[in-house]
Structure 1
C-alpha cells in the first residue's frame, strides 16, 4: 500500500498555540475541551494535569483557567473576571476576529448573519457578542427562507467551506441594500481543504484523521467524498478496518486542525501493516 499525505494537514497555528499554553500552565482548568480531539485532551490531562470543566459556575477561586481555542460566550468571560483566578486566553485569533466584527457591526445597526453550526462552541461565543439577536444559518437554502433586513453583516464560522460562504454572500449582495461581507474563514482551514480536495482526486482511498466532533475534520471528509467515495474518518489507528483497503493501491491521508502528529504517525504505521 502506497501512502500519500496531503500537502497541508494537521495542527493549525491556533491549536499549536493553545497546546503550548496548556503545557506551560500545568494543573489548570479549561472551559470545555481545549481543542476537538479527545486523544490529545487525554494526553494533556495525564501528562500536564490539564482538566476540562464544562460549567463556569464550578470554577473556584485560586484556579488557573485557560480559555479554549473556540472561545467562550462573552457573559462567561465577564463572570470569570469577577473571580480570584488566573485567566489565560488561548482563543484562536481567527476566532476573536468574528467576535469583534459582530460586536462592532451590531452596534452600528446591522443585522448579524452567522454562517455556521448553532451548537458549535465557536458560534455560540460569536453570537454572544451581538447586541441584537443574530441569525445563524447552516446553508444558502436556509437563508432563502428567512426575511432579511436592508443592512446586513455576514461572518462565518472559521472552519466552513469558502465556496458555500461565497454562495451566501452572493445572495445577500443581490437581496440587500447594503451587505457587509467578512471572510472569517481561517487560512489554514482553507489550505487544508484545498489540499484534501486535490489529494482525493489522486488516490483509491482517503483516510481523514481527527476528532469526530470536530467541524473542520467533518468538512475534510465531505470534501474528500466528492472525489473519492471510499473516504473514512478515524480518530486513531484503532478505527481502521482491514476491508476498507482490499483492492486499493494508493491511500491518501489528511488530518483535522486539532490532530497531533503522533496520532497521524500511528495511523500511517497501521495502514502500512495491513
Structure 2
C-alpha cells in the first residue's frame, strides 16, 4: 500500500507562533487550551511546565498568563489586565482580525453576523468585541429567524468551509440593502481543505490527524468523508486499526492546523508498518 500526504497539511502560522511563545514562557499558564491538540498540550506541560487553566478562577498565584491562539473574550482580557501578572498574547493574528472588524463595524452602527459555532472559544472571543452583541449562525435557517437592520457586517470563524460561508453571505446580500462581507477564513485553512478534497478523490482510505475538539480538523474529516467513505479522524497512532487498511492500495494522510509534525511522523510510520 502506498501512503500519500496531502499537498498542504498540519501546523499553520498561528499555531507555530503560539507554540514558540509557549516554549519561551516556561512555568506559565494558558487561559484555556493553547491549541486544540491534547498530545501537544501534554508535551508543553511536560517539557516547559506550561499548564492549562480551564477558567480565570484557576489563576491563583499565576505570574504569567498566555492567551490561547483562539483568543479570549474582551471582558476576560480586561480582568487579566487588572491583575499584576505578565500577559503574553498568543492569539492568532487571523483571529485578531475578525475581533477588530466586529468592534469597528458595531461602533459604526452595523448589525454583526458571525458565521460559526457559538460554543467555540474563537467565536465567543470575536462575539465579545461587538459593541451591541452579535448574531452567531451556522445555517440560512438560523438567519431567517433573525430580525436584522439593513446595515449588516458579516465575518466567519476562521476555520469554516468557504462554500458554507458563501451561502450565508449570498442570502444576506439578496435580502438586505447594505451588507459588508469580510472573508476572515484563514488562508491555511482554505489550502488544507482544498488539498484534502483533491487527495480524498484519489485514495482508498483517508487518515485525518488532529484533535477531535479541533474545528479545522473536523472540517477536514467532513470534507474527506464526502469523497472517500473510508475516512478516519485520529489523534494518535494508538487509534489506528490494521483492519482499516485491508485490501487498500493508496492511503491518503492529512492533518489539522494544530497537529505537530512529530505526531504526523509517528502515525505515518505506523501506517507504513501496517
TM-score range, shorter chain: over 0.9
Map residues 95-106 of structure 1 onto 2, 5 A cutoff.
95-106=95-106
Q: CA deviation at 1:142?
A: 2.0
CA deviations over 1:113-149 (Å, ceiling 9, x no partner) = 0000010000000011011121000122322333332
Secondary structure of the structure 1 residue equivalent to 2:184: coil
Secondary structure of the structure 2 residue equivalent to 1:259: coil
- Measure the CA separation in 1 of the matches of 2:109 and 2:12: 34
Q: Please tell me the root mean square deviation across aligned C-alpha atoms, in Å.
A: 0.9
CA deviations over 1:75-95 (Å, ceiling 9, x no partner) = 000010111101110000000
Could you tell me which residue of structure 2 aligns to residue 124 of structure 1? 124
Could you tell me which residue of structure 2 aligns to residue 190 of structure 1? 190
Residue pair 1:217, 1:255 contacting (<8 A) in 2 also: yes
- Measure the CA separation in 2 of the matches of 1:139 and 1:237: 35
Matched, 1:164 2:164: yes
Residue pair 1:61, 1:85 contacting (<8 A) in 2 also: no
- Measure the CA separation in 2 of the matches of 1:9 and 1:139: 27
- Measure the CA separation in 1 of the matches of 2:232 and 2:177: 44
- Measure the CA separation in 1 of the matches of 2:124 and 2:91: 13
- Measure the CA separation in 2 of the matches of 1:62 and 1:181: 40
Q: CA deviation at 1:61?
A: 5.2
Could you tell me which residue of structure 2 aligns to residue 235 of structure 1? 235
Could you tell me which residue of structure 1 aligns to residue 35 of structure 2? 35
Residue pair 1:205, 1:231 contacting (<8 A) in 2 also: yes
Q: CA deviation at 1:242?
A: 1.3
- Measure the CA separation in 2 of the matches of 1:140 and 1:205: 33
Q: CA deviation at 1:208?
A: 0.2
Secondary structure of the structure 1 residue equivalent to 2:70: coil
Q: CA deviation at 1:62?
A: 5.6
Task: Give the alignment's TM-score, normalised by structure 2.
Answer: 0.98
Q: CA deviation at 1:56?
A: 1.1
Task: Give the alignment's TM-score, normalised by structure 1.
Answer: 0.98
Unaligned runs of 5+ in 2: none
Could you tell me which residue of structure 2 aligns to residue 86 of structure 1? 86
Secondary structure of the structure 2 residue equivalent to 1:257: coil
Map residues 260-271 of structure 1 onto 2, 5 A cutoff.
260-271=260-271
| Large movers: runs of 4+ above 4 Å | none
CA deviations over 1:26-77 (Å, ceiling 9, x no partner) = 0100000000000000000000000001121332456111100000000000
Matched, 1:108 2:78: no
Could you tell me which residue of structure 2 aligns to residue 224 of structure 1? 224
CA deviations over 1:234-253 (Å, ceiling 9, x no partner) = 00111111111111110000
Q: How many residues align?
A: 274
Matched, 1:4 2:29: no
Could you tell me which residue of structure 1 aligns to residue 145 of structure 2? 145
Could you tell me which residue of structure 2 aligns to residue 58 of structure 1? 58
